[in-house]
Amino acid sequence: MSLFLFGCGSKINQANYDKIKTEMTEAEVEAILGKPTETSSNQLGPLSVRSSKWKDKNGTISIQFFNGKVQAKQFVSGDSSKQE
């Protein structure tokens, strides 16, 4: 008999990456991925720019926020990457 545990795996995966949509807020993204492992931010006049990364052994999800909303994202897993 085999026992499989679900829900304990990494949040860094294609399914969660696909849930992230342009114009989502940082709070909505964190509800899916948790707190980022790296964050950097800049203020350019009225424009707020933040880059956040979620990393673990499965890969890296990078998201760029402009004024608190998703504008670009990238998922790198192993040898491949996907960017939007």
How many whole angstroms separate alpha carbon 41 and alpha carbon 50?
A: 4
pTM, 2 dp: 0.81
pLDDT exceeds 80 at position 47: yes
What is the pLDDT confidence band of residue 44, given thresholds at 50, 70 and 90?
confident
Strand 47-56 and strand 80-83: pairing? unpaired
* pLDDT tens digits, one per residue of 15-29: 999 999 999 999 999
The DSSP output letter for 37 is S
pLDDT at 71: 97
pLDDT exceeds 80 at position 57: yes
All domains of the chain in start order, with CATH:
14-77 (3.30.1450.10)
What is the pLDDT confidence band of residue 82, given thresholds at 50, 70 and 90?
low
